[in-house]
Amino acid sequence: MKVLVAVKRVVDYNVKVRVKADNSGVDLANVKMSMNPFCEIAVEEAVRLKEKGVATEIVVVSVGPSTAQEQLRTALALGADRAILVESAEDLTSLAVAKLLKAVVDKEQPQLVILGKQAIDSDNNQTGQMLAALSGYGQGTFASKVEVSGDTVAVTREIDGGAQTVSLKLPAIVTTDLRLNEPRYASLPNIMKAKKKPLEVLTPDALGVSTASTNKTVKVEAPAARSAGIKVKSVAELVEKLKNEAKVI
């Protein structure tokens, strides 16, 4: 079966971002960019499905600027067979991305689509669910285990009180949680080979998708800073402060 994996280029998770002085957004100039960590887990899961003989082809797709080709090449080096970039310079909302992915799903007809549960920049946690709604497919969000058998997939999901397992008819949408797997690193030979794998570039216009949005970001501010604390010398002093100064115990 064919598996489609969506990946996003985001600011590296170790970077502490700064808000721009004019409050128009965060400053991403000269900041290290990487594949969103949840997307790495999605690629890894697809590659494992291929290694098990469940998946026959892995197509990786990204919606973003032309520089997102770097992240697609990374996914190809990890084991994806070919890549699609839907080139879009604007900062798209999750719904617009979901509509673009829906157009790619219509074109590619995958049996399984794997996305990360959220991107660490917008922290939206929406795209997978929206794609599932637009496609009319079942959704297995926050997956910690994925098992394909016949024409269904059993997905174990991380929920607030523990874990839940659902069974979905294929084709279906799965979004990954952190504990689904441990992503591998790309080896140098595979990075070289990935340069020769096919990478198709599409535009929203070519897919016939409008990326108009009902949301507008008015401003972006830095969060209120916490006032500096103190270091106490002993447990006794800590307890005294918590009781008499902070009055929280």
Binding to another protein in span 120-139, by CB under 8 A = 120-134, 136-139
Q: How far is residue 46's CA from residue 92's CA, in Å, rounded to a whole number?
A: 25
Q: Which helix (H) or strand (E) holds 237?
A: helix 235-244
Our finding on whether 211 is near another protein (CB under 8 A) is no
Q: Which of 53, 150, 236, 244 binds another protein (CB under 8 A)?
A: 236
Our finding on whether 162 is near another protein (CB under 8 A) is yes
Chain-centre distance for alpha carbon 135: 19
Q: How far is residue 164's CA from residue 170's CA, in Å, rounded to a whole number?
A: 19
Q: How far is residue 115's CA from residue 176's CA, in Å, rounded to a whole number?
A: 6
Q: Which of residues 6-25 bind another protein (CB under 8 A)?
A: 11, 13-14, 16-17, 19
Our finding on whether 207 is near another protein (CB under 8 A) is no
Our finding on whether 103 is near another protein (CB under 8 A) is no
Choice between 69 and 118, CB closer to another protein: 118
Our finding on whether 221 is near another protein (CB under 8 A) is yes
**How distant, in Å, are the alpha carbons of 55, 64, 73, 138, 162 from that of 9?**
24, 7, 12, 26, 30
x-or-dash string of contact with another protein, 51-90, rule CB under 8 A: ----------------------------------------
